[in-house]
Each structure stands twice: as structure tokens, then as C-alpha cells.
Amino acid sequence: MNAAADTFRRLGRPATRGRGEVLRILSESPIPLSPREILERIPEPRPDASTVYRSLSLMISLGLVRSVALHERSRRYEAVTEGTHRHRVVCRGCGRIESFQPKKCDLSRIENDIRGALGFDVSDHSLEFFGACAECGRKKGRGR
Amino acid sequence: MNAAADTFRRLGRPATRGRGEVLRILSESPIPLSPREILERIPEPRPDASTVYRSLSLMISLGLVRSVALHERSRRYEAVTEGTHRHRVVCRGCGRIESFQPKKCDLSRIENDIRGALGFDVSDHSLEFFGACAECGRKKGRGR
DNA sequence: CCCATGACTGCAAATATATTGCATTCGCAA
DNA sequence: TTGCGAATGCAATATATTTGCAGTCATGGG
């Protein structure tokens, strides 16, 4: 009856509460979260921060979670969802983060170029956009 | 006679040695470097680490340098060079980093989609590829 | 349902990374 | 050469992440 817990059991890992909460929180969040944000969202009794880090690193090795780098001091994490591919859009003015599901993400041409030029076999990519959100763009636009 | 120093003077900033070294090192490096790597490459007498961090943050605000996030513990930095646009390719096997100059980086369509869907005005993007380099791919390929 | 066992957790300490206050020194222009 | 504001060194502090270890929990077997 608990999706996160089942996921762990299926993978042969004990389904502990902290671990389940981390995965649930990431699955429910529309944007990637930092370890600190994840911790803050776990209802009491809250696990230790080290448990959150250990959970994240386990889930990454199980392929349940991936990291997202938005050029901040700490990395963020998101749940891996089958069949979705998202890019992040970050506002330089207010820090707002949004996810964007591209109509069609075709970087395969670039990936082929890379294979040809460097012999690298690309399995994955990470694409983030930076700029001004509607609100901040408006603010800056009208004088300031 | 010193390109880095001139750059700072032109921008009305004192051209100090540490600062110049940081910019020179980044300009000469084919791959983005972490603050620690930058510091290690400055010849004696080496400035304090805080000077390197302060230099980087100044240069970012001056637009001379930008950060590159390769999902590591610390960010990396690279010199901004007029007219070049590069992507990074990182090997998950050995950590090797290479830069790749795309024949044509056309993400403007995606950027337009973003403007339409989210109202975000994109000014910039960051694109990194992950996979296996020629050597690591070969290793894994022939049995391991 | 209870037990054995390995996996996981909390806690505290260690490390790594980044930032800041302050007194001193440096770079630059007059 | 001198004066001033900017930059630096140093030490302290903040933040992020990792690790050792002893106690606890989750799961499968009986």
C-alpha cells in the first residue's frame, strides 16, 4: 500500500521509514530538492541528515534518483520517472525553478557528433536554462 | 603586456597578481577547473584560498568567468571566451572531462518553447553529456 | 509469532568546501 | 611620492558531506 516501500522491497532493500519518506518527497516534488530541503519536509520524527545522504546515495546507485546541478552550493535531487525527460529553467532574478518537459528533446545529433569526434558513448545528458522569469523580466523591463 | 592584467584595468579593477593568475590559468585550461585545482596551479607565492574564491566571484560578476556544474562536490569554472560555446562531456568510468564545440548549437527552438510555455526569457544554458569515453567503453565492451 | 541476521540508523566527529570580519598592504592616479 | 579605496592574508565561522561505531529495525525462516 506504500509505493516507495514496495519499490525498496522489490529491489531487496529494507523499506525503512526515512528512506521511504525521501523517495516519496522527491516523487511528489515538481522541482528537484536539496538534501536540506528534503530533510525539512520529512514529518517528525525526522531522521538524521546522514540518513538522508545515505538514502540518496543508495537510491542513485539503484537508479531511483538522479542529481540535478543548478550551479548552487549544493546539488539537488529528483526522482527518476519512467518515460519522462525534463529540463530545468532557473530565474537568475528570483531563483525560481521550473521544470520543462520538452516537446521533443532531440540531442541525438549532437550525441552522434560527440561519438564521432571524441569516441565518447553518451548515455545521458543534463540541460538547464537560465534567464528571467515572467515577473522578473517585467520588473527589469519597465525601467528600474 | 599581460592580457589578464589589462582586462582588469580596462574594467577599472586593480590588477593584482593572484587575480591575474586565476584568470590566466582558466584561460589556458582546456577544461573547467575547481577552485582547489586553480589554487594548486598558481606558482609560489600562492595567494590564500579566500582570494581565489573572491577573485572568482568578482570575475563572474564581471562576466569574465562562468561556472560549470558537472555534478561533483564542488563547482568548476571556465573563462568566458568571446564567440565560443562549449559543452562538456564527462566519462562516468574514469572521470575524464572533455570539451566539445558543437558544429551548431541550436537550442533556440527549445528556448522559444520555454518562452511560450513559461514566460521565461532564456539568456543562457548549460549542457553536459555523460557516458563512457573511448577507453572505458572498450574496457566494458570486451567482457570486463 | 518469535528469533537470528544483516542492513540501516542515530550520534558524534572528521573532512571538504565556501564565506566573512578585520587589520594590513597594494595598485593606481594625481 | 603620496593618499585612498580596493584587495589580501589570516583566522574564525558557516555550510555541506562523509564516516566509524554501537544500538536498532526489517525481513525471512522456523
Domain boundary among B28, B48, B81: B81
* Interface test mutation site (partner A, options B78, B126, B133, max chain A beta carbons within 10 A): B126
| One domain for residues B73 and B118 | no
Domain boundary among B33, B61, B81: B81
Residue range of the domain that includes A77: 1-81
Check B89 against A124: CB less than 8 A apart.
no
Q: Write the residue in B89, B111, B123 that is nearest to A120 by C-beta.
A: B89
Q: How far: B138 CA to D29 C1' (Å)?
A: 45
Q: pLDDT, tens digit, for every residue of A72-118?
A: 999 999 999 988 888 999 999 999 999 988 776 678 888 999 999 99
| One domain for residues A21 and A62 | yes
Confidence of residue B140 (pLDDT cuts 50, 70, 90): low
pLDDT for the residue B103: 73
Q: Write the residue in B110, B119, B125 that is nearest to A102 by C-beta.
A: B110
Mean of the per-residue pLDDT values of chain A: 92
Q: Is A103 on the interface with B (CB under 8 A)?
A: yes
Domain boundary among A81, A96, A112: A81
Say whether B90 sits in a helix, a strand or coil: strand
- Which CATH number belongs to the domain containing residue A126 in this structure? 3.30.1490.190
| One domain for residues A91 and A133 | yes
- Which CATH number belongs to the domain containing residue A20 in this structure? 1.10.10.10
Q: Are B100 and A117 in contact (CB under 8 A)?
A: yes
| One domain for residues B7 and B67 | yes
Nucleotide nearest to B48 (CA to C1'): D9
| One domain for residues A66 and A110 | no
